[in-house]
Structure 1
Amino acid sequence: MIDRCCVLSSPLPPEHTELPSTPAMATAKAYSAPPKVSEKKDNPYSEDDLPEFTPMPWTLSEIRAAIPPHLHVRQTWKGLLYLARDIILATAVWKLGLRIDPTFQSQAAVQQLTPIGAEVARWAAWGVYWWFQGLIFTGIWVIGHECGHGAFSANKRVCDIVGFITHTFLWTPYFSWQISHHRHHSNHASMERDEVYVPKTRSDIGIPKDDPTKIDWDEYLGDTPIYTLYMLLRQQFLAFPAYLLFNVSGQKNYPKWTNHFDPNSVLFTKRQRNAVIMSNIGIAAMVWGVLESSRIWGAATVLKMYAIPWLLVTHWFIMITYLHHTDIELPHYRNGQWNFQRGAAATVDRDFLGWQGRFFLHDVAHFHVIHHFFPMMPFYHGPEATKYLKEFIGDHYRYSNKPVFKALWDTYNICQFVEDEGDVLFYRDRKGKAYVRPAAQYRESAATAQRAH
């Protein structure tokens, strides 16, 4: 669970914008963790016992004023140094990868390690190569992501050139995805307008609004662990291509066949048509490049040297973004309760792979909350800026140090659906139980909406 999340209800109404004289004077207070949901008869589950949440009252300009201006400054030379470092690392690891098969299939290796031992060592070496090259490639993808936000350089042309090359190399249509990703940032945590990770509702799953004790939850949400693992692996390795091609996990209000490659898609305006076509040309060039490389060096070599590390890029990218935006304690909003800063705060920083995540992934997972508040802030200012953000918004800042693979499994199993009514929403688990509830005034609005329906 998130270490600091559940904000107790405040006497301030949601439209209140008066800034406390210091962040410490804010009336919000947080629990370190939600109460455990008990199945014991002598301690039955009751939503009256859940911690309450009140959305933050501050405006974006008030939050921005708490961040020193120099942290918003983009330094092109520094971004280029990080990119050069990644390219050098990728090249060095690539050269080592080219030596794996010749080394472990040599007569000397077979004699020293035995045929079986040499083969085990060979595949172990490939595993190490895939792990680190996948992380390095993901770091390069992150550089492209920075370019898409304009955070890499104050020069838009530099951003577009670097972003187009790095993202195209990793099979991401740069301009097309940049457009939809910008819309995601502009509408994050809005049930009506967000682009990705929009929760399923009770009616989406077909669960009746009834006494929870009378519902056979296993009938609707009960899956075997092996099937859950299969679905989770499918998400990790196929979700990003599926989103680009078929809008899977995207905004469900979009028409059928919405995708990132159709210049006439609802995702784009007429003015963005040429940018989409340019992205498609880049991906077409990659198709040609991979086919030509397979003809020259062999499909097996291309698979081992490039395709598997690229597949791991999609895994890391989906894992990072899914865990940033999905947790049993993160709110989603409807109607007038949503605003940009509340949506930005509905994310969580995670200790992702320790030093490897910080070094190879450019802190993208460790300091994501500040990125949602200020997408044009360079990643290398994330650690310092987060200190100021955390000091100002206090318990509205969310962080988790749970091991990320455990967090992935737990989150995928726990976060199932949100209610059809209400303007402040939290996920419910496989038994229909919540871990946090909106403050009283937001529950009352939900009850009013339910009666009207």
Structure 2
Amino acid sequence: MGNSHHKYSEDELPEFTPMIWPLKEIRAAIPPEMFVRNTTKGIMFLCRDLLLAATAWSIALRIDPFFGHAVVKSVLTPFGAECVRYCAWAIYWWFQGLIFTGLWVIGHECGHGAFSDHKIVNDFLGFIIHSWLWTPYFSWKISHHRHHSNHASMERDEVYVPQTREDLGIPEKANHEIDWDELFGDTPIYTLYALIRQQLLAFPAYLLYNVSGQKNYPKWTNHFDPNSILFTKEQRAAVVLSNIGIAAMVWTVSYATSLFGAAQVIKFYGIPWLCVTHWFIMITYLHHTDPVLPHYRGKEWNFQRGAAATVDRDFLGWQGRFFLHDVAHFHVIHHFFPKMPFYHGPEATKYLKAFIGDQYVYSDTPVFKALWKNYNECQFVENEGNVLFYRNKKGEAIRRPADQYRVKREGT
């Protein structure tokens, strides 16, 4: 019992000093061949993914006929056959979801210009792949590029911008006077519901309503309106083209539904697509949200500090490395150099790590555990100060800025 009364003291937290190197020094530490894009290699990865998807699809076509067969039913009993049939579909959804996510990652590479030296190749393939997975390619590419250019800036980042004490209406009182339970006293069941809602709906909600995006954008900001604040006049035609891609998918899915029935379309395509949304949100949320990662205001922010404010994770082990093209295992290097092809990530990360040392963040916490922990621990940041860390449901951080960056406040 005694330990639970240990008084929280900000002075005892590990210190953090933002990195001082200019980007060109960091880039010079990485061999130039790591930046070379190989279109043929990229296309081979794309073909591999398409072949995997087609193979999974053709195996899934056999699931229902096989378990509906009289011999199988007599061996397994009708109930047993039905149970195993559901398990078979679950396996298909898991792997096809990962394969589709890998395809989405290749579309994302195209959006960064990392897939090929040829813009037309990047945009043609990226447009088709992302439209097929319900992502407006050009519109998302534009806002995603701005996210990369401003990552971890409180004022300018596009996504995962932390809420402040003020946003949540938490008074600036000494800690013991605030009823933290009243503010954050959600039951674990409600937290789980909110987390599942985030996992399945966050990406469509971001595209449609700017949920978790920059707070000072106007109310109806979204990725489908060519006149949105997200886009310049010159980008409007690209936004319309993205919308045409999505409209083509609406038509395709409607037509497939009239041909094969809604249940078939949902089973073969709908559920794996929902898995893409889940994996993609989980990957990006966990890259940018962790109590050890800083956020910056004003002059303390620069591009390389923002790039280092991400975390590499051992995401689903070999499955994450193989199916997801290392996107989660080697994300920090991608933030420093978004045009670097994913297949150079593992090698280039060794050089980056050797150069930036403990500014490089890696976590081997199992990802579902990390998702639950960070969803609970990362609640808000302070209203003032230029180097900020997330605080939990008791208003406590696990890291603090070095003295020259601190804002002294009551009760800390």
TM-score range, shorter chain: over 0.9
Q: What's the counterpart of residue 277 of structure 1?
A: 240
Distance in 1 separating the partners of 2:323 and 2:100: 9
Shift of 1:39: 5.7
Aligned to 2:41: 78
Match of 1:362 among 325, 336, 354: 325
Q: How many residues align?
A: 409
Paired position in structure 1 for 2:291: 328
Q: Distance in 1 between matches of 2:221 and 2:154?
A: 18
Instruction: Say if 1:397 and 1:71 are closer, same or farther in 2 by CA, change over 3 A.
Output: same
* Alpha-carbon contact 1:324-1:347 (below 8 Å) kept: yes
Separation of aligned partners in 2, 1:128 and 1:282: 30
- CA–CA distance in structure 2, aligned partners of residues 97 and 268 of structure 1: 41
Distance, in Å, in 2 between the alignment partners of 1:164 and 1:186 is 22
Q: Tell me if 1:122 matches 2:85.
A: yes
Alignment correspondent of 1:288: 251
CA distance in 1, matches of 2:379, 2:90: 33
Identify the range of structure 1 (142-151 vs 44-53) with the bigger mean alpha-carbon deviation.
44-53
Q: Would you say 1:301 and 2:264 are equivalent positions? A: yes
What SS does the corresponding residue of 2:357 show, helix, strand or coil?
helix
- Counterpart in 2 of 1:62? 25
Residue 12 (structure 2) pairs with residue 40 (structure 1): no
Residue of 68, 83, 99 corresponding to 2:62? 99
- State the Cα deviation string for residues 264-296 of structure 1 (Å, max 9, x = none): 000000000000000000000000000000000
User: Can you give the 5+ residue segments of structure 1 that lack an aligned partner in the other structure?
Assistant: 1-37
Distance in 1 of aligned mates of 2:20 and 2:255: 56
Deviation at 1:214, TM superposition (A): 1.1
Selected match of 2:303 from 340, 358, 368: 340
Match of 2:183 among 220, 233, 236: 220
Counterpart code for 1:205: L
User: Could you tell me how far 1:40 is from its partner in structure 2?
Assistant: 3.0
Q: One-letter code of the match for 2:176?
A: T
Match of residue 156, structure 1, among 119, 122, 126: 119
CA distance in structure 1 between the partners assigned to 2:381 and 2:172 by the alignment = 12
Q: Contact 1:130–1:308 at 8 Å: present in 2 too? A: yes
CA RMSD in angstroms comes to: 1.0
The one of 92, 99, 122 equivalent to 1:136 is 99
Letter in 1 for 2:4: K
SS at match of 1:205: coil
Amino acid at match of 1:273: R
Which of 362, 365, 370 is equivalent to 1:399? Answer: 362
- Looking at structure 1, the residues matched to 160 and 185 of structure 2 have their Cα atoms a distance apart, in angstroms, of 21
TM-score by length of 1: 0.89
Q: Distance in 2 between matches of 1:222 and 1:421?
A: 25
- Using the alignment, how far apart are the partners of 2:4 and 2:190 within structure 1? 28
Letter of the 1:287 partner, please give it: V
The C-alpha deviation readout for 1:333-383, integer Å capped at 9, x for no partner, is 000000000000000000000000000000000000000000000000000
Equivalent position SS for 1:126? helix
* Conserved 8 A contact 1:39-1:45: no
Q: Could you tell me how far apart the structure 2 residues matched to 1:170 and 1:118 are?
A: 32
Structure 1 letter corresponding to 2:343: Y
**Contact in 2 for aligned 1:324/1:348 (Cα 8 Å):** yes
Q: Which of 306, 322, 341 is the matching residue for 1:378? A: 341
1:173 to 131, 136, 155: 136
Structure 1 residue 108: deviation in Å? 1.5
- The corresponding residue for 1:20 is none
Q: What CA distance in whole angstroms lies between the structure 2 residues aligned with 1:428 and 1:222?
A: 15
Q: Write the mapping of 1:372-451 to structure 2, written as runs, cut at 5 A.
A: 372-443=335-406, 446-447=407-408
Whole-Å Cα distance in 2 between the matches of residues 169 and 99 of structure 1?
24
**Matched residues in 2 for 1:372 and 1:205: separation?**
29
User: 1:227 and 1:334 mapped to 2: Cα distance?
Assistant: 32
